[in-house]
Structure 1
Amino acid sequence: MQELSATYLFDPLCGWCYGASPMIERLLSAGIDVHLLPTGLFSGSGAREMDATFAAYAWSNDQRIERLSGQPFSEDYRSKVLNKAGSLFDSGAATLAITATGIVDYRKRFDALRVIQHARYVTGLDITSLPVLADLLASEGLADAASLLIEAPDELLASNRHLIAQGQDLFRRLGANGVPALAIERNGQQRLLDASALFSSYDNLVAHLKAA
């Protein structure tokens, strides 16, 4: 599948994207070129403050994701993030952190996404906080990206807007109905993979890729 490449549409606050991360990681480990594009789904007008009703809905959904993917959603996440008064559901800062990482080394975007997801869903950290995100990047050996995130130069902000615009454009063009979404490109043609393939076996995912 060396001639195949893929674009992964995601949002760092999407629980289903967290559930899909093991499959994306396996594709990358297999040498498949997977380009990450954020959609900004839960930032800007898509952001909101957490409340009890939304927290209960999110936790119920998260339990379904855990059953399908095996990805853990901890009690620390439930108590320190979902049920924390005044907690924000806003992926803007986390998306910016992933963009900053990509500016330093585009191959590390998924590493940043992975550590941010783990920090939220397992450790129970507030990934809407820039200092928290900077510490996470630095702990992964991404000190340059951490510094860039805190400084937030115009270059970073412009790059972030550009990436989100690209993600939203592809999302619309392919008629995606949510994230995660994996767009397969072969011989200059793109098509959307059935998202359910990201939650089955790896062999089944590979079969879908070959069929694309």
Structure 2
Amino acid sequence: MSTPLSSDPTVTYLFDPLCGWCYGASPMLQRLRAAGVSISPAPTGLFTGSGARPMDAGFAAYAWSNDQRIERLTGQPFTEAYRNQVLDAENGLFDSGPATLALSAVALAEPERELDALAAIQAGRYVQGLDTTSLACLVAILREAGFTAADRLATPDEALLAANRARIAQGRALMASLGAQGVPALVTRQDGRQRLIASNALFGSFDNLVSHLNA
């Protein structure tokens, strides 16, 4: 029997849409949602701006090795289409800026569906081998999945851009305030105090994760 949640908690999810470990954590997040946990996504912009970089051969090899480790641990698939069309793409980029903007567009229009949009973007990248650093590609992914934010993303307005900057700033500030070293990570609030649950809790048993939430 699974350990029951002591209450109906709300957690903040620190993530980046191009983080392979965040993709690996997706099944556990879905289990939390099914158990009644309210999850508030908080993009950190970890791989935007100065965190973005060209996808050269050395970095591609490192990423693929890491991705295989994630697949073994979590069962999340990283396909040959992803390897060939994303990691080995000529003049490829590792830049989560466009995908983060896409999620901000969804958060403004349908906030309750942001995790679903993240899952669609992750599947597009890691399973279908789509270029999720391309705004046009992201618009197509959202449109195919029925997100009303697709049209706004196609021509981002200043309000969307400002909201995206604010969300990244908030995510980074929360990481810094709690000493988070990376993503994915969860943050709980109890008696007005925030508490960091580090990423390793997302890759063990569900009961272990629940015990962290209940602590």
TM-score (norm 1): 0.96
CA RMSD of aligned residues (A): 0.9
1:11 and 2:16 are equivalent in the alignment:
yes
Q: Distance in 2 between matches of 1:67 and 1:165?
A: 33
> Does the CA contact (< 8 Å) of 1:5 and 1:186 recur in 2?
no
Q: Secondary structure at the match of 1:123?
A: coil
2:25 corresponds to which of 20, 34, 46:
20
1:109 and 2:114 are equivalent in the alignment:
yes
Q: Which structure has more helix as a fraction of its residues?
A: 1
Measured after TM superposition, the shift of residue 187 of structure 1 is 2.1
Q: Distance in 2 between matches of 1:99 and 1:179?
A: 18
1:156 and 2:160 are equivalent in the alignment:
yes
TM-score (norm 2): 0.95
Q: Secondary structure at the match of 2:12?
A: strand
Paired AA for residue 163 in structure 2: S
Aligned to 1:176: 180
> Does the CA contact (< 8 Å) of 1:3 and 1:186 recur in 2?
no
1:88 and 2:93 are equivalent in the alignment:
yes
1:34 and 2:39 are equivalent in the alignment:
yes
1:146 and 2:150 are equivalent in the alignment:
yes
Aligned to 1:70: 75
Q: Secondary structure at the match of 1:125?
A: coil
Q: Distance in 1 between matches of 2:124 and 2:7?
A: 33
Q: Distance in 1 between matches of 2:209 and 2:35?
A: 12
> Does the CA contact (< 8 Å) of 2:11 and 2:186 recur in 1?
yes
Identity of aligned residues (%): 58
Q: Distance in 2 between matches of 1:54 and 1:102?
A: 31
Please list every run of 5 or more consecutive structure 1 residues that lacks an aligned counterpart in the other structure.
none
Q: Secondary structure at the match of 2:173?
A: helix
Aligned to 2:199: 195
Which sits farther off after the overlay, 186-195 or 39-48?
186-195
Measured after TM superposition, the shift of residue 43 of structure 1 is 0.6
Q: Size of the alignment, in residue pairs?
A: 210
Instruction: Show CA shifts across 1:123-182 (max 9, x none).
Output: 00000111110111111110x200110120111001000100000000000000011011
Aligned to 2:3: none
Please list every run of 5 or more consecutive structure 2 residues that lacks an aligned counterpart in the other structure.
1-5
Aligned to 1:47: 52
